[in-house]
Structure formats: structure tokens, C-alpha cells
Amino acid sequence: RYRRALHSFLISQSGTKLGAVTWEVSRAAGIHTHWQFLPVPSDLIKRGLVEAAFKIEAENEKYPVSFRNKDVGDGTGEKGDFFRVWVWVPGEEDVVNGRRDGEVKGADDEGEVDEKRGKQKCLVVPLNADFRFDLQFGRRVMGKLLGLEARMNWRDCAQTDEEETKDAEAFKEAFKKFDWTLED
């Protein structure tokens, strides 16, 4: 639900110029799920460059298994740990019609989901105990793809507390009308 609200927010801010990439590291023994959400130019998604970047980087790093196109829902049905990437791009009709609800209709066998807004693809790679998965993998892939290699490690681009607070407050204000947690 939160991702769909962020998708609606992106449409309101950029029309169809921005899509989104969300990645998740899910560990069965972990204390929480780790997600990161990144708006990206829609053109990168439409041309298949985001999907290709994740697959090629995994291949280059000799991951023991390949990404597969599969929607695993909330992930509770998956056996073991996994890394998941959602790649979403808005549809032209959504900007014309001003849709903002974004309900998911369901996934096909290839992990593609038709939303009322746009198109979403889900890529999953299982993680096994014998393989040391780098938690910065998603950030590194997207940093390379966007030409932001200097920002691939979060430690290299940390903000001051004041900058972070200012950015967080600006986002909260801009996102307010999409934030269902503020509804009465």
C-alpha cells in the first residue's frame, strides 16, 4: 500500500517522467524486512535497462542463482531468504485520467502486475546460507546505472542531522495528501 501511495505521489510530481525501483532484502532469521525505494527516469525502465542492470550485476558477481520473474506477494510463502526488486513505470492513461488509487489486479506467471496505474515487474533471487549477499547490492546496481558511482555507498553521501531533518519535513509535507496513515 505504501509503494502504491509513493507511485501516486510520483505521478502527481512528474506525470510519466519517473518510474520507481524498490528493492527488498528478506531474511527468515532477520528482525525486520529491509526496503529501499528510488524514483528513476521512466525511460530506463521502458527500455529494460533496470531489469538488465540487476541481472548483469548478479552475473558479474557470480551469484549462485539467477533472478527470476516472479511475484512472491508478501513473501511469506517463500522458503528461505531472498532479494526482490519491483520495477514500476506509470501508464500514460493514468496521468490523463488522474488515477491515484493504484490497486493491484494480480500477477501473471512472469511476475508482471497490471496496476490501474502503470506496469510493475517483480524480480526475485533466492539467497542461500553459503552465499554472502551484499546488502548494498541494490544501491550499487542503481548507482552504476544512473552514473552515480560516488553515491553507491551510503556512508559516502551522508547528510548532517539538519539537512536530513529539513529533507524529511519537506517530503512529509509534499506526501501528506497521499499518506493514508494521516486519515481519520
Average pLDDT, the chain: 81
Helix spans in 32-179 (H): 42-46, 49-60, 92-97, 137-145, 161-175
Give the model confidence (pLDDT) of 19-52 as tens digits: 999 999 887 776 677 889 999 999 999 999 999 9
pLDDT at residue 95, as a whole number: 54
pLDDT at 139: 92
Q: Are 101 and 115 in contact (CB under 8 A)?
A: no
- Calculate mean pLDDT across residues 143-148: 94
Q: Helix 2-14 and helix 161-175: axis angle, to 10°? A: 90
Q: What is the pLDDT confidence band of residue 163, given thresholds at 50, 70 and 90?
A: very high
pLDDT at site 74: 61
pLDDT of residue 49: 96
Element (H, E) at 114: strand 112-115
Q: What is the pTM of this model?
A: 0.81
Share of the chain above pLDDT 90, in %: 39
* Pairing status of strand 18-26 against strand 68-69: unpaired
Angle between helices 137-145 and 49-60 (to 10 degrees): 120
pLDDT at 113 over 50: no
The Cα-based distances of 57 to 23, 61, 62, 119 in angstroms read 14, 6, 9, 23
pLDDT of residue 47: 95
